[in-house]
Amino acid sequence: MFSKEQIGDIGDDEELAQFDVKSKEQDIESKVKVVPLKVSKLWIQMGIGFVTIVKATIGTGILFAPHVIVKSGYGISLWLLVFYWLLNVICTYLLFMCADIVNDTYPIIASSAFGILGRIVADVSMIMTEMSFCAVTVTFVTKTIQDVIAGIHNCLPEYINYGTELITFLQLIIYIPLVCFGRLQSLGPATFVANIALLIGFVIVFVYAVISLVNHIQSGLLYYIPAYTNPESIANFTGIAAFLWVSGPVALSYYVSLIDIHAKKIFVWIYLGSISFSFLCTSLFVFVMAYAYGENSLSTIILNLPVTPVAIAGQLLYVISVILSFPLMLFPVKEIVTEYINLIVRRIYISEIIEFTFPKEQVSANPSLFNVNSIVSTSIPVSLASINREMFKPKSEVMLRWPSGSLCISIKQNKWLNILIRISPSLVMILISILCCVLGYVLIDSLGNFVNLVGGIFCVPISIILPAIFHLALYRRITNILIIFMDIIIIIIGLLTSAVVIWYSITNWSTYSENLCDIKKYS
């Protein structure tokens, strides 16, 4: 055990006491090292990145677009799709540029741009966005299962909108265990099944729409969709268009995870290819759906499928896909919650005693920097002279890289309290899952309006407004006036978009619960 004098002697070592605060360029070089990859591994990484972006873009959002296209008109809808797709691509590249300076994810970029306030705003935006997506997922699952039940029972009155409460909250049986997993890798099997189910379900839904469209063309009864309907149609589709392209934070996380600089440069083009592929698939899907079902298009196009075994299988596969994607959507929320719990614990235990122990024979005169390895936090490079108890949480381990041996630092803590700290993130996620189900249940009769509102309140800020603000804050002193002007224009467009969408969603709020029995006749 070290005495205070011994610790003081070690702290006096000039090699330890001087901790070099590097410039941004040097910091980037220290964090992003050129680690050449084999060509095969490089393209495997790029392939995974391509699939990740496509999966993040093509989800449940495309199921809501055909209904709005019919109401808004194909001309204005196509223009808005292209405009907000391009705007999101530009803002994602702005995030990549911010990451080149900060070399970290969305919340850290926010913190670098605006300090703790920026970090809190980014974290709250991320949490609310993901929770809104999950609430939409809950509602979508409930409506789809109700549609299947009503179709199987030939639209008997007692089976229309059957068991809303039961179906909604029964989903928690699946959600709660999945959100308790501590590592993203643990959800690998669920992710694989979700991707396969999504692909098959997507193909089935699309094939049925193509068959319906071909039948209409052959019979000369193709649905008429005007190019433009009325001024309100712009606001009607804008929220959905913004909802469709929220992939910036996901792309940023993957970009930052790449260690090789060459891989980062290639991924920039891979991202452009994947988001372009997503745009083509989405445009083809939504317009085929719109012309296949026309004015009979329901708010969720999957409800328009006929009552056949294959169609029901397609609906259920889509349901399986979004159910298994629920914990993936909430995983960033869990990481944020864990970080804040870690921070609170460090604050509580600031006065606890830190114990320094290591074998006497491992003492060296030339110790170097060491890393603080916490249960939930990442390594923090510090010097022995800058040790601060605020940096550690209970049961922290600090490994000091000696020529031989290590230095262990720990904080005394109650065993049961340690268990509570470990499980507290999962407990919070369980509460969030329940809240998502409650929100989905309350808004189940206003699904279309809810999706539009989510697009205006959460999707536009997190994918358009905040990236432009971060880029302006980090680059305003090192870029030209045209780029600054572009950032300002993007911010203004984002603010106007949010205002218009929120206004339209609230003033046109509807509580009408539609289902397939409204448009289909059964024998």
Nearest CA to 173 out of 434, 514, 458, 487 is that of 434
> Residue for token digits 């649905």?
223
Helices 309-348 and 172-179, packing angle to 10 deg: 40
Output 274 or 397, whichever has higher pLDDT.
Answer: 274
Separation between Cα atoms, residue 242 and residue 249, nearest integer Å: 14
Q: Which residues pair with 399 in a beta bridge?
A: 371
CB 465 within 8 A of CB 316: no
Write out pLDDT tens, residues 45-104.
888 888 888 887 877 778 888 888 888 888 888 888 899 999 999 999 999 999 888 877
Residue 343, Cα to own-chain centre: how many angstroms?
23
Token reading at 90: 């530009």
At position 106, the amino acid (one-letter code) is Y
Percent of the chain with pLDDT over 70: 74
Q: What angle do CA 389, 393, 398 make, to 5 degrees?
A: 75
Token reading at 411: 């904080």
At position 376, the amino acid (one-letter code) is V
Q: Which pLDDT value is given to residue 515?
A: 67
CB 313 within 8 A of CB 90: no
pLDDT band at 513 (very low <50, low <70, confident <90, very high): low
One-character DSSP codes across 28-54: HHHHS------HHHHHHHHHHHHHHHH
SS (H, E, C) 182-193: CCHHHHHHHHHH
Q: Which pLDDT value is given to residue 268?
A: 92
CB 345 within 8 A of CB 194: no
Residue 298, Cα to own-chain centre: how many angstroms?
27
Write out pLDDT tens, residues 308-347.
888 888 889 989 988 988 888 888 888 888 888 877 776 6
Token reading at 128: 């609310």
Q: Which pLDDT value is given to residue 296?
A: 79
At residue 373, φ and ψ (nearest 5 deg) are: -105, 110
Q: Which pLDDT value is given to residue 175?
A: 92
User: Which residue pairs, CB below 8 angstroms and at least 24 apart, start in 257-262?
Assistant: 258/45, 259/32, 259/33, 259/35, 260/34, 260/35, 260/36, 260/37, 260/42, 261/32, 261/34, 262/34, 262/36, 262/37, 262/42
Task: Note the pTM of the prediction, 2 decimals.
Answer: 0.73
